[in-house]
Structure 1
Amino acid sequence: MSRDALVDRKSSRKEIASFLKAARNASAAGQSDGRIVLALDATMSRQPTWDLACSIQADMFESVAGLGNLSMQLVYFRGIGECRASKWVNSGAALAAVMSRIDCRGGHTQILKVLRHAAKEHARRRINALVFIGDAMEEKVDDLVQAAGELGMRGVPVFIFQEGGDPIAETAFREIARVTRGGWFRFDQASAAVLARLLKSIAVYATGGLKALERRNTREDRLLLAQISGGKDSDR
């Protein structure tokens, strides 16, 4: 073997070793690609807080800096049987652009379609969490819980932010969160800042897992950890 060939082989071995070391370090640091389905009720009752939800989602991407890459897909329902999903995006600006083109329209909830869509997406490629923001539930609870339970068995937690105080919706939303080991939270205009911080915590969880939440250890991180571990539900 020539001297040049020997040098090239040694160089290649060093590059491979460096790559493997970097990969191990990234793994140890909890770095990964997180994928979140963000589902929104876009029926008419949600119009007052739609713009608010649009304005706070961008921070989710910023919160995972140093942990890995975050991708999100918007799913929304409105009108008569309309339920659509966007392409996967990896920046707050791209997601905001999608959301800005959507207006709220009258119609009934289609939460079952959202849950089934999440299951299909997960079958194609793992998703780390489903986030749903809504204020009503007009479907059969048993159907929703069954679909949610299937997500839970596949390791996909559902985090629900409920607007208003509809007791029927609250019962269903709490149960969906419970069977998926996700979380239920109250959401209104007064608690927008809390919602923003909780969404950041969910992004950190989706990208870095439980250890990333434990390391960061903000109030919202601890609240999310309590929910995931089966703690008490929170009104905030």
Structure 2
Amino acid sequence: MADDDKTLPTTSASRSEVDAFLRKVAATPNPNRTGRRGRLMFAMDATASRQPTWDQACHIQAEMFQATSALGGLDVQLVFYRGFRQCQASPWVGNANELLRRMTSVTCLGGQTQIDRILGHALKESRREKVNAVVFVGDCMEEDIDQLCHHAGELGLLGVPVFMFHEGGEPVARRAFEQIARLSGGAYCPFDASSAQQLKDLLSAVAVFAAGGRAALADYSRGKGEGIRRLSHQIGDR
């Protein structure tokens, strides 16, 4: 499948580009359901350029818990990197207030990207107990792309899709993020400061998918935006 099939278009994208993205998400395998709460790893770049988006994410994250409350809930682990080789992971938390408390205690610091450490951590966590999806939010990539792709492929073999949310249009990061998404079975999703509502809706949709699979996403899509409704419709046709 072509790289474009993994790209979530911006609001100015053509209908064919939107359809291509929806076909990709529709093909994402269902999370393995074991009667347990969904587990979503919420990973973010917390280097100096990210402070405005970090603040935005603090407000958005509550939507993920609200969207999954009827599905038995969602456990989220916050993972972030910043500064000089600082990469931290929170305990798994099951409510928005606790995640918000942890997020608001973080100040973004200058440093290089550490995406490989996040992917490696996702592998370790999923081998210990199934992680249903990984969300990453960032704007650049300064690492060995082959190593990133290797870990992304390993996550794909474990059935852990990575949804790469890319702020801005930096081309090196775009190529890397698209490949990580493709190899893991996830999707690449560009956004900018003007698409906060779209980001909120799509993060919630990924959370619903992590908690309940395609059927839950179909229910969630009712009354939502056109993009999510069409995504759910195509999933239901499979």
Q: TM-score, normalised by structure 1?
A: 0.80
1:62 and 2:66 matched: yes
Aligned to 1:104: 108
Q: Which amino acid aligns with 2:77?
A: Q
Say how many residue pairs are matched: 200
1:94 and 2:98 matched: yes
**Partners of 2:119 and 2:85 in 1: CA distance:** 15
Instruction: State which of 178, 182, 187 in structure 2 corresponds to 1:183.
Output: 187
**Partners of 1:149 and 1:107 in 2: CA distance:** 26
The equivalences for 1:49-198 within 5 A come to 49-198=53-202
Query: Deviations 1:67-98 (Å, cap 9, x if unpaired)?
Result: 11200000000011000000110011110000
Aligned to 1:231: none
Moved over 2 A (4+): 214-228
Computed over aligned residues only, the root mean square deviation of the Cα atoms, in angstroms, reads: 2.1
Aligned to 1:221: 228
**Partners of 2:219 and 2:136 in 1: CA distance:** 26
Cα offset, 1:223, TM superposition: 6.4
**Partners of 1:36 and 1:63 in 2: CA distance:** 13
Cα offset, 1:168, TM superposition: 0.3
Q: Contact 2:60–2:200 at 8 Å: present in 1 too?
A: yes
- Unaligned regions of 5+ residues in structure 1, if any? 1-29, 229-236
**Partners of 1:33 and 1:158 in 2: CA distance:** 19
Q: Which amino acid aligns with 1:63?
A: A
Cα offset, 1:191, TM superposition: 0.4
Aligned partner of residue 66 in structure 1, secondary structure = helix
**Partners of 1:212 and 1:44 in 2: CA distance:** 37
| Inter-CA distance 220–96: structure 2 relative to 1 (3 Å threshold) | farther
| Inter-CA distance 149–223: structure 2 relative to 1 (3 Å threshold) | farther
| Inter-CA distance 88–42: structure 2 relative to 1 (3 Å threshold) | same
**Which one scores higher on RCO, CA 8 angstroms, separation ≥ 6?**
2
Q: Contact 1:183–1:227 at 8 Å: present in 2 too?
A: no
Identity %: 49
1:200 and 2:210 matched: no
**Partners of 1:32 and 1:210 in 2: CA distance:** 16
Aligned partner of residue 79 in structure 2, secondary structure = strand
**Partners of 1:75 and 1:102 in 2: CA distance:** 11
Aligned to 1:11: none
Query: Of the two, which has the highest radius of gyration?
Result: 1
